[in-house]
Amino acid sequence: METGIDGIFYAVQHAQAGLMTLDEYKTFGLPFDLKTTLPATGLWCNLLHLHGLHVYFDLVPHFSPMFPIVNWHDRETSPELNEAQKRFTGIVCGGVSQHTIVYGDASKVREEAADAIRQTGGHRLLLGTAAWSRSSPHMETS
């Protein structure tokens, strides 16, 4: 904070079905993620990223005092942006898949962006993307 940063990007890697049960994450992950991010409380631009598929989005309220922005692979896993806004009072970040950014054409990017704006009414939305998860059906491996 002494450097003048406005926020942090914090990726929660294990709060997803297939890696841990919700109870396992609450026991072995959540306390440490909260402790790790506590020093960033009060920064206005903290962004929480829930990484992967089948994320435990209902954990977001545990982080919401310090993270006004939440991001996840909304084009690959639930919830959709409009549903997330019902469950989180902050800003949702997403709307365009990284696959579309990398491999799609401009019309597909505009289509996904317009859908994100339609879903949210253009309010409490930071139009963006999320990194691919290894289990993404769009992930290309060599």
Residues 6+ apart with CB under 8 A from 135: 18, 52, 53
Residues 6+ apart with CB under 8 A from 51: 11, 12, 13, 16, 72, 73, 130, 131, 133
Q: How many whole angstroms separate alpha carbon 27 and alpha carbon 38? A: 18
- pLDDT tens, the chain, 142 aa long: 889 999 999 999 999 999 999 999 999 999 999 999 999 999 999 999 999 999 999 999 999 889 999 999 999 999 999 999 999 999 999 999 999 999 999 999 999 999 999 999 999 999 999 765 444 444 333 3
Global pTM reads 0.88
Q: For the chain, which residues make up each domain, given as ranges?
A: 9-92
